Amino acid sequence: MHHPVLEFVHAGDIVSLRHVPPTRTLLQVLREDLGLTATKEGCNEGDCGACTVVLGEQRGRQIKYSAVNACIRLAHSVHGMAVWTAQDLAGADGTPHPVQQALLQQHASQCGFCTPGFAMSLFGLYQNQVCQGQPVSRALAQQTLSGNLCRCTGYRPILAAAQQMAELPLVRQDETRLLSQLELLAHAGQGLEADLSYKSPKTLAALLAERAAQPQAQLVAGCTDVALWINKLHMDFGTVLDLTQVAELRVISQDANTLTLGAAVSLTDAFAALLAERPQLHSFLQRFAGLPVRNSGTLGGNIANGSPIGDSMPLLIALHARVVLASVRGSRELALDALYTGYRQNLMAGDEVLTHIKVPRPTVNEFLRVYKVSKRQEDDISAVCLAVRIELHDGQLDCVSIGVGGVAATPVRARQTEAALTGQVWSQALIERAKTTLRGEFAPISDMRASSGYRTLLLGNLLQRFWLESLGQSPVSLDDLSLEDLPA
């Protein structure tokens, strides 16, 4: 096996690197190979945001800017893109970028270790918002910084800096030159020679052929979980097969009945499509990891990974989502809740790839809520995730679907509770019976996130909350509060 040449644009030039192993992370390349040490290593698991960088990817005649965690991004996955680090913000003459100037003026740094990550998340916001003539609200700033942790400065001055940077003289990137460089790299390509250690096919046919030829290759799509195996478990892979550049898997489409999401669509873009049809999901989807993780991770990867605490699956199960599995032998479609056979195990054959997720569009009588309970409000893993969808006609439940995470070895449907509710009159008495059924349907374990008893109690309590919200009552929770609402 030999390693493909890795090329990307940095600081106005095309960087070309050879002999980069397939499991080397972008953070390692930046710090150790290129000496760009302003990008910090903190947790090395995508949790703290100290390693945040911004990627630029060509979309037609425009550049899409995305803040990502360099520590859980495989280096070869940025081939053909542009990369900005905290060392690239100031002008050639040393003039601070508006992001830096705003952080300075608002005294938004103390120890400074996390500051480069904050600056890069704000730079992504600056490019996507300020340079497009859009204001920066405090709420938008909070969402943007959801993947960055600060232990000493406090968030008030950082949020103030996010809003102030839009008031400073505008600084734009030379996108004309950048587009020409990205087009040059796209034309060069990486190739799919048989002995390459890292392969990134551009078409579905090429992906399926590679998968059939090398079923032992590690399939990646965003790497937000696989990179943890590398960083924390010290796993190594001789061959990596990256599906994120497959054109057919990066498409979102819809017809009268179904929203179809390609498996390589980022969580950010997939959630935006879901949110456009179901605005009530806003709070839940914003709590799925942090923005840098959502920018890198893919919906297909989250599903295929099959973690029992993967937050997208309970929602998709409640929505009766279906998945498409494909190989050179053909394709098949099955309900998402039928995909899993055990802890991180599924029905996919060695030569199959999950290619699409099909989500039914909302109906007129649909009432849907998803609840996530975790120790931290932002950027945390669920203790329990409960998604409930009902259809009511004249006070009677015609359709009930419930997806649950954190209570079994896989994401699951609460089939017994669904059966107990379907066809019944929607009432408090019914909910009391259903709470007992739901609490008895699973035997969750105790771990560092929650005890078995707490998880069981939560199931019933969240179902009670769903009942209250269906009546128009909204119990106050942290989901509904902003930083301004919290006591000083």
| pLDDT tens digit sequence for 6-34 | 999 999 999 999 999 999 999 999 999 99
The CATH superfamily holding the domain 251-470 is CO dehydrogenase flavoprotein, C-terminal domain (3.30.390.50)
Give pLDDT, residue 211.
Answer: 97
Task: State residue 476's pLDDT score.
Answer: 55
Say if residues 86 and 38 touch (Cβ distance below 8 Å): yes
Evaluate if residue 331 carries a pLDDT over 70.
yes
Give the helix/strand (H/E) hosting 452.
Answer: helix 452-470
Q: Has residue 146 got a pLDDT over 80?
A: yes
Q: Tell me what pLDDT residue 195 has.
A: 83
Question: Residue with structure tokens 């059924």?
Answer: 437
What integer pLDDT is reported at residue 1 of this predicted model?
A: 75
CA dist 113 and 197 (Å) reads 34
**63-72, 185-194, 475-484: segment of lowest average pLDDT:** 475-484
Confidence of residue 477 (pLDDT cuts 50, 70, 90): low
- Common-topology check for domains 6-167 and 251-470: no
* Residues 6 or more apart whose Cβ sits within 8 Å of residue 471: none
Q: Which H or E run contains 404? A: strand 396-405
The span from the CA of 299 to the CA of 319, in Å, is: 15
Mean pLDDT of the chain: 94
> What is the band of 478 on the pLDDT scale with cuts at 50, 70, 90?
very low
What predicted TM-score, i.e. pTM, was given to this entire model? 0.94
Q: If you average pLDDT over residues 370-394, what whole number do you get?
A: 94
Q: Angle formed by the axes of helices 115-128 and 155-164, to 10°?
A: 30
Structure tokens at 204: 């579905």
- CA atoms 209, 211, 214, 219: torsion sign: positive
pLDDT for residue 297:
97
Among 162-176, 188-202, 387-401, the minimum mean pLDDT is found in: 188-202
What's the whole-number mean pLDDT along residues 230-246? 96
Rounded to the nearest 10 degrees, the angle between the axes of helix 98-105 and helix 155-164 is 140
- Res 409 pLDDT > 50: yes
Long-range contacts of 105-108 (CB under 8 A, 24+ apart): 105/161, 105/164, 106/157, 106/158, 106/160, 106/161, 106/164, 107/157, 108/153, 108/157, 108/158, 108/160, 108/161
pLDDT of residue 188: 77
pLDDT surpassing 50 at residue 482: no
Q: Any idea where the domains of the chain sit in the sequence?
A: 6-167, 251-470
Q: Is 116's pLDDT higher than 80?
A: yes
- The answer on pLDDT for 479 being more than 80 is no
Separation between Cα atoms, residue 298 and residue 269, nearest integer Å: 9
For the residues 447-466, what does the mean pLDDT come to? 97
Distance of CA 284 to the CA centre of its chain: 12
Range in 29-33, 209-213, 430-434, 480-484 the model is least confident about: 480-484
Query: What are 169's two structure tokens?
Result: 């003289």
205 phi-psi bin (left φ>0, alpha ψ -120 to 50, beta other) = alpha
Looking up tokens 């520590």 gives 71
Q: State mean pLDDT over 257-269.
A: 98
CB atoms within 10 A of CB 487: 3
Is 316's pLDDT higher than 90? yes
CATH for 6-167?
3.10.20.30
State yes or no: pLDDT of 475 exceeds 90.
no
